[in-house]
Amino acid sequence: MKEYWNKRYAGRCNSGAGSSGLFRAFVHETLHGLRIPMEKSLLDYGCGDIQLWKNFRIEDYTGLDISNTIIRRNKKKFPHHKFIMQDDLTEMYDVSFCISVIFHILDKKELFRVLVDLATHTKETIVISYWEQEPPNVNPEYERYWAHSEWGFILVDLGWKFTSLHYSGDKYNVICVFEKRETE
């Protein structure tokens, strides 16, 4: 996958439909409804070109990606934000977002790695988008459908509770929210 995204971004392409248009409007509407304070430390896991966050004022933003090409570009374009490669994740964040990423992970072991990263580097809230059902025309070069039942349990097993589900209205895109469980 890393090669695919480096090649795509080297050609000056953007992240695609997952960070623009109607989907971006759905994400913005959902996040406003969740009332997540944007002054908290935020991790954007799979940040891509960060166009998803256009028009948000975020004070403590860290974008993470597997593409060193987009990380370099983002560092130049957004010097007031922090950008890191996946292997450089060491800090804790109040809130982590994984938007339009799950279906770009082709390998189950890598999917579990991402979920463990989110669970172990987030203090309060994890927000993940995924496909509720497999859409037509999935491109197996860079897309795969993962049912929630194939991955949601990982976060629950690591101390998180599922708190809400938000549907986009297109019968495919869904946002789910997990909150850290209180330790007894």
Q: Which of 17-21, 25-29, 107-111, 135-139 has the highest mean pLDDT?
A: 107-111
Q: In what order do the strands lie in the sheet with 82-85?
A: 82-85, 60-65, 41-45, 93-98, 122-131, 173-180, 160-167
* CA terminus-to-terminus distance, the chain: 40
Residues 115/80, Cβ–Cβ less than 8 Å? no
- Beta strand 122-131 with 93-98: parallel, antiparallel or unpaired? parallel
Q: Check whether 184 has a pLDDT greater than 60.
A: no
- Domain layout of the chain by residue ranges: 1-122
Q: Are 40 and 94 in contact (CB under 8 A)?
A: yes
* Interatomic CA distance for residues 118 and 1, integer angstroms: 19
Q: What is the pLDDT of residue 111?
A: 97
Q: Write down the pLDDT at residue 39.
A: 84
pLDDT of residue 125: 96
> What CATH number was assigned to the domain covering residues 1-122?
3.40.50.150
At 86-95, the pLDDT tens digits run 999 999 999 9
For residues 11-37, give the mean pLDDT: 79
164: its two tokens: 């809400």
Q: What is the mean pLDDT of residues 20-47?
A: 87
